[in-house]
Structure 1
Amino acid sequence: MKVGVAQVDITPEPGCELSGFAARTQPSIGVLDRLYAKCLYLVEGDERLLWIHVDLIGLLREFVLDFREWAAAKLSLKASQVLISTIHTHSGPATVEISEAGRYDPAYVQFLRARLEEAAREAIENTTACTPVFVEGRCDLAVDRRKKASARTDPRVAAFGWRRDDGSFIGALTNYAMHAVALGPSNRMISADLPGRTAAILSERLPGRPIVLATNGACGNLNPPYEHITSQQLSAWGGQVADAASGLLPEAAPLTDCTLRLASRVVPIALDVLGVDQINEIADRYIGHAGSVGEWGDRYVRALEKWRRSRTEEVRDGQCAATADMEIFAVRLGPAVMLGVNAEVFSAFTDLVREATGRSVYTVGYANGVRGYLPTKVAYDEGGYEVETAHFFYNSFRFKPGGLEHLADEAVQLVRSLFA
């Protein structure tokens, strides 16, 4: 397998607003650690994959589609060969539009686009033959933050490495499901949070100091044990995730099956579209609860009122879509499959696909855009932030119950096609 890697610094200047928390004092006041865009380019037979992984909260779907058009024109890559994922840090610049949780920064996004083009070109122009390896470790750090009867976590840590003949690594990729919110809303420093520390520590521990893409998983319901931690604790937790792979990768046997196969599909998932009276009833009800959220109640109300106006206008104008497009981007690397999904998907999604296919399957959340939370059907009965109020901040209608299960069924078909 031929492999190319690249890494570019995408750290903004302090003073930018940080994305992810409404309950935060803005703007940023410094840099705790640098943010990077990391590129992995794989060639096996006639197949090619350009995977760009970015230390940001997420990207707009339009950004991804536009970048794919550029890659087709300038790099002769198909749209189905370009995957862009993010770590979902809540301590980076605002590259998606989340109401009252950091002002979207178009100037930074323009800068980012140029840096991603640079990384893509560098990786493609500098490939070398490597031996792929794959291991699965375990980390029990993440907790189900919802604390409901349906609680479940995903302790699996997937790790791929691309090893040179001398035993050193040119690149590595990990996957672990846990929200990148360890620093919490009190933090005002720019940071890649836990995935950034995991990547840095694993790189230090592996021979060759490879570029490491530490991807996030199906973590819509998963958090670190607690927030507002110190930088030292962040390194300790990042080390725990890195530990799950660092001892296994150097000793891993070469993959006897180096298959690289890609498949993707866009699946329309039904939205819970409301009438104007329902919109007003819900907005009034939750505004009545604003006092319970403390000092950031004003931001909560502003987000709700924006949601009320936007959804009402959309419904009255007849411009309201009944569905939202979810893209499943499947990458088979030997015996394992990575499933990119453009949502904050609950951890049960991965288990559903694993159980139905019997394959080593891992979800890459926040991939090729981010469209809000995709909870399990049972979560709607249990209630909670992800199903009741998160869509106010995403300024959209929530998904109807059953959307996750439908997407999992589609993913099962896609995974099976990769082994047919």
Structure 2
Amino acid sequence: MRVGHGRADLPVPDGTPMGGYLDRPGPSAGLLDPLSVDAITWFDGERRFALATADIICVNEDLAHRVRSDARSLGCELWLAASHTHSGPETGCVPGGGPTPAPWLDRLTDAVGTAVRRAIEDEHRCDGEARHGELHGVGADRSRPSAPAVVPLTVIAVRHRPNEDGRLVGCDEAGNNERLANRNGTGENERPANRDEAGEDGRLAGVLVVLPVHPTVLPAASRLVSADLVGAVRRALRARLGPDVWALVATGAAGDISTRHTRRSQDAAELDRLAAIVADRCLELLREPPARAWSAGSGIAWAVRRLELAPARLGEGPGSVPVDPAGDRAADPVEGPAVGPIESPARDWAGDPIEGPADDRAVDLAALAADLRAAEASGDPVAVRLARSRLEGVRARPDRSGREDPIGVHVHAARLGELSVVGLPGEPFLAVAESIAPGGPVMVLGYVNGYPGYLPTAEAYERAEYEVLVSQVAPGSAEALAEAARQLLEDM
């Protein structure tokens, strides 16, 4: 297997509308750290697969179609994933999907193409290793303050294969990197990069990290452009692994996971602190015994399946009232969810209905506003944030009461040797990814090739939290995507 990495800058001029927060005080005004598009390509001698990640809030289907069409002209199957930074340009991140605004459709297409071409030019023989472990203290369920701050972390190590004479490209006679890296970024204790991490199989070429945490450390008040947590983790890994080792960080299934309950502040220093925890844990995992991801004779396969998801609907149910856009209370307060029969069933690629309940919940804005006032009176900042997010969830979502058309999405799966890879659109909850468990190593990415919005688990619809309130799809949608991914992997 030949593997390459490429990168392209993604400049954001001052005055650019920013994505991610409704209450942003204005357009971009300065740069905290640069945005980029990173790409990895795999080539087995016949088929080429590329994964590109862009420092943007979401990838809409029009952008995915453009970049995938261009990649096919290079003989390449491409997935484009968003890092989901909330401190980048607004790229049309509308729940349910929307158009990518000018000029970002063209700018992103060009940047992705450049990164992929550079990755193809960089391809060389590499083996792959997979490691999975727990990450503590960075991400947690953002709607449950008492939830443990533990998420899964996936690290894919890409290692150079020996030349015919057994030596590694770029290594001295002892087999160590010829260049030195400063592990801690302080200028002290320099040593050969990757000596502990390289092992017997070869020098480390790069690492692919899947981090299922919303990269939302910086606040809505910030107008500085930044890749946020994803960018900070990239920097921390490069500082520890040295200049010859690339690092690509992809956001996993982070729909319900963020730093809300783990961050101590919302500034650059806190980005560095959290990124150091992630990077140090990655290095710990690199020292543990790996599972083989791919080797010299491994092959590549991929598949895609289109699903049509039933839209969430607002209606009237027992003990509840419909949302009033003006915020007036129409009747009694909400007592709980009301679930009705399917009115617009989801259909898979063959046209067969996907069974599952539709969301027929009604929500009372006045009651949510009262909850916020009570939380503010209590002085509990966590209660205030949760109450405010629920109110924002109702106000942020488009009017869904009359929507009948299903929401089309694509589920992607690939095999890179022994490594199973799943690309889910939008913002799936972490439990959705954890339900996809084929034999052997697996990594599940979110924010890939489309943006239907939040994809909560069916169980989550029993709670009136932000992600459920703003979701555009009916309960059971996320489970349908997970089942499609499992079937794709089984059939490959």
Q: Name the TM tier (shorter chain).
A: 0.7 to 0.9
CA 1:289 to 1:16, structure 2 compared with 1: closer, same or farther past 3 Å?
farther
Query: For 1:106, what is the secondary structure of its paired residue?
Result: coil
User: 2:89 aligns to what?
Assistant: 93
Q: What code does the residue aligned with 1:282 have?
A: V
- Matching of residue 325 in structure 1 with residue 399 in structure 2: no
Segments of structure 2 that go 5 or more residues without pairing to the other structure are 161-167, 172-201, 328-363, 374-387
Aligned residue runs from structure 1 range 105-184, under 5 A: 105-140=101-136, 141-147=138-144, 155-164=151-160, 165=168, 166=171, 167-184=202-219
CA 1:69 to 1:333, structure 2 compared with 1: closer, same or farther past 3 Å?
closer
Which piece of structure 1 moves more, 11-20 or 332-341?
Answer: 332-341
Distance in 2 (alpha carbons) for counterparts of 1:42 and 1:257? 10
User: 1:9 aligns to what?
Assistant: 9
Contact 1:154 1:177 in 2 (8 A): no
Aligned residue runs from structure 1 range 20-35, under 5 A: 20-35=20-35
CA apart distance, 1:110:
1.9
Contact 2:131 2:290 in 1 (8 A): no
Contact 1:89 1:191 in 2 (8 A): yes
CA 1:360 to 1:248, structure 2 compared with 1: closer, same or farther past 3 Å?
same
Cα deviation digits, residues 332-386 of structure 1 (max 9, x gap)? 33443221111111111122122xx354333211011221011011111112111
CA 1:412 to 1:232, structure 2 compared with 1: closer, same or farther past 3 Å?
same
User: 1:347 aligns to what?
Assistant: 430
Distance in 2 (alpha carbons) for counterparts of 1:185 and 1:256? 39
Structure number with higher helix proportion:
1
CA 1:369 to 1:240, structure 2 compared with 1: closer, same or farther past 3 Å?
same
CA 1:364 to 1:254, structure 2 compared with 1: closer, same or farther past 3 Å?
closer
User: 1:378 aligns to what?
Assistant: 459
Question: In the comparison of the two structures, how many residue pairs are matched?
Answer: 390
User: What's the RMSD between the two structures over aligned residues?
Assistant: 3.3
Query: For 1:255, what is the secondary structure of its paired residue?
Result: strand
Segments of structure 1 that go 5 or more residues without pairing to the other structure are 392-397
User: 2:480 aligns to what?
Assistant: 406
Aligned residue runs from structure 1 range 248-259, under 5 A: 248-249=285-286, 255=292, 257-258=294-295, 259=298
Cα deviation digits, residues 78-111 of structure 1 (max 9, x gap)? xxx2110111000000012349xxx974123322
CA 1:236 to 1:282, structure 2 compared with 1: closer, same or farther past 3 Å?
same
Cα deviation digits, residues 260-292 of structure 1 (max 9, x gap)? 33222122222124589xxx9424355646866
Distance in 2 (alpha carbons) for counterparts of 1:42 and 1:305? 40
- Matching of residue 417 in structure 1 with residue 457 in structure 2: no
Contact 2:424 2:481 in 1 (8 A): no
Query: For 2:436, what is the secondary structure of its paired residue?
Result: helix
- Matching of residue 236 in structure 1 with residue 273 in structure 2: yes
Query: For 1:189, what is the secondary structure of its paired residue?
Result: coil
User: 1:212 aligns to what?
Assistant: 247
Contact 2:63 2:100 in 1 (8 A): no
Using the size of structure 1 for normalisation, the TM-score is 0.82
Q: What code does the residue aligned with 1:237 have?
A: L
Distance in 2 (alpha carbons) for counterparts of 1:227 and 1:381? 30
CA 1:54 to 1:214, structure 2 compared with 1: closer, same or farther past 3 Å?
same
Which piece of structure 1 moves more, 116-125 or 51-60?
Answer: 116-125
Distance in 1 (alpha carbons) for counterparts of 2:306 and 2:150? 25
CA apart distance, 1:23:
2.3
CA 1:143 to 1:84, structure 2 compared with 1: closer, same or farther past 3 Å?
same
1:269 to 296, 299, 309: 309
Which piece of structure 1 moves more, 214-223 or 21-30?
Answer: 21-30
Which piece of structure 1 moves more, 8-17 or 173-182?
Answer: 8-17
Higher-Rg member (1/2): 2
CA apart distance, 1:235:
1.0
Contact 2:7 2:38 in 1 (8 A): yes
Q: What code does the residue aligned with 2:74 have?
A: L
User: 2:224 aligns to what?
Assistant: 189
Aligned residue runs from structure 1 range 389-404, under 5 A: 390-391=470-471, 398-404=472-478
Contact 1:350 1:361 in 2 (8 A): no
User: 2:323 aligns to what?
Assistant: 282
Query: Identity over aligned residues, as a percent?
Result: 26
CA 1:376 to 1:52, structure 2 compared with 1: closer, same or farther past 3 Å?
same
Cα deviation digits, residues 233-259 of structure 1 (max 9, x gap)? 211111111122224437766838433
